[in-house]
Structure 1
Amino acid sequence: MELQPHFALMASYNQWMNAKVYDTASKLSTTELAEERGAYFGSIFGTLNHIVVADTLWLKRFASHPSSTTTLAVMVALPTPARLDQVMFDDLDGLKAHRQWLDSVIINWIAALTDEDLETILSYQNMKGVPAIRSFSSLILHFFNHQTHHRGQITTLLSQAGLDIEVTDLLALIPDEAGSQ
C-alpha cells in the first residue's frame, strides 16, 4: 500500500481544518480566546499555541531525516520551544499567520516524501533528552493524529462558546469514487 497519498490527504486536511478553526476562533474577543475553559492547555488560545509548539518540535525533528533536510531546512533556524505550553505568539493574528506558514511547509514537505522515505526510521530525542528510534511513517501518523486530537478539543470549546465550526470530518476531503466504477 502506498502511504504518501494518505499523508498528502492528511496534510490537506490539516490545512483545511486549521483554516476553519482559526476563522471560527476569530469571531471571539481576545478575552474569550484566553478564557480558562478547563481544557488541558486551558483556553482556546492556549490550545492553538500548543499545536504550533508541538508541530514546531516535530518538524524540527523530522528535519534531521535525510529525506527532509532540504524541504524542512526552514525549521532548523526556528527556536526550539522550551515547554509544551509555551506561548509562541500573544495575538491570534500572529499565531494564525504562523499557522498558515507552517501548514504550507507541511504540505510541501509531505509532497516531497516518497514511500521509500516513509519506510525508514528516525532517531530523535524528546524534550527531556530521552533518545528514541521509531518508524518515520508512524511518527508522521502521530504528528497528524496529535493535531486532530487537539483541534477536536478546540471545536468543543468553540461549540461551548456558541460557535459552530460546521463539518470537521476527513470524509469531506475524500473524493467520491462512484463515477470511477
Structure 2
Amino acid sequence: MTPQTTIRMASYNSQMNQRLYDAAASLSAQDLHQERGAFFGSLFKTMMHIAVGDTVWLHRFAQHPDAHALREEIGVFAKPHALNQQLFGTLAELAPYRRKLDLIIIDWAATLTAEQLDQTLRYSNMAGQDMEKDFALLVTHFFNHQTHHRGQASTLLYQAGVDIGVTDLLALVS
C-alpha cells in the first residue's frame, strides 16, 4: 500500500458508497430490511456493518502517533462495541453518517506518508486483545473489507431488482 493507492482507494470507496446508497434509496423500507440470507441478513444490516467496521478501524488508525487530524475528526463518533451494532434504524439516518465517514477517510488518506505506512500499529481488537500489525497491511484490509461487503450489498440489491452497474475499480478511478 502506498500513499497514492490509499488516496485512490478512498476515492473509490466514496464513489461506490454513494452509488450503493443511491441504489438502496430506491427500495422500500421493507425491501431494505428484508432478511435475504446474507451474512448480516438484510441489505440495511450489511450497509450498517460496513459503516460500523469503518468506524472501528478509523478509531484504531487514530491511535497512530501521526494521526492528529484523524483523532480529532473521528473522536466525535462513538466507537462501536460490536460488528453487528445497529447505529441507526433507517437509511435516512445512516446515509449522512456514511457521507461523513467517507469525507474523513478521504481527508485521512491524503495525510498518509510512505514512512507512516511502513510502521506498525498497536490497537485492541473487538475482543480486547492487544495487537500489533503492519500499518500498510491494516490499511489494505480496511479497504478490502469495504469492497468485500459492498460486493455482498450489490448482490442483495440485484436480488431486489436493482443493478448498480459497473463496480470495477479500474472503470471508476483514474
TM-score of the aligned structures, taking structure 1 as reference length: 0.93
Q: Whose RCO is larger (CA < 8 A, sep 6+)?
A: 2
Kindly provide the CA deviation profile for residues 29-85 of structure 1, in whole angstroms up to 9, marking residues without a partner as x: 011000000001000000000011111100001001012122332212322212111
Q: Is the 8 A contact 1:119 1:136 kept in 2?
A: yes
Q: How many residues align?
A: 174
Identical residues among aligned pairs (%): 49
CA RMSD of aligned residues (A): 1.1
CA distance in 2, matches of 1:100, 1:174: 18
TM-score of the aligned structures, taking structure 2 as reference length: 0.97
Higher Rg of the two aligned structures: 1
Structure 1 runs not aligned, ≥5 long: 176-181
Q: 1:8 aligns to what?
A: 7
Name segments (4+ residues, structure 1) moved above 4 Å: none
Alignment of 1:92-103 (within 5 A): 92-103=91-102
Kindly provide the CA deviation profile for residues 128-178 of structure 1, in whole angstroms up to 9, marking residues without a partner as x: 111110011110000000000000000000001111100100011343xxx
How far off is 1:117 after superposition? 0.9
Say whether 1:148 aligns with 2:147.
yes
Structure 2 runs not aligned, ≥5 long: none
Q: Is the 8 A contact 2:157 2:163 kept in 1?
A: yes
Q: Is the 8 A contact 1:71 1:112 kept in 2?
A: no
Alignment of 1:104-115 (within 5 A): 104-115=103-114
Q: Counterpart of 1:126 in structure 2: which amino acid?
A: N
Q: Is the 8 A contact 1:56 1:80 kept in 2?
A: yes
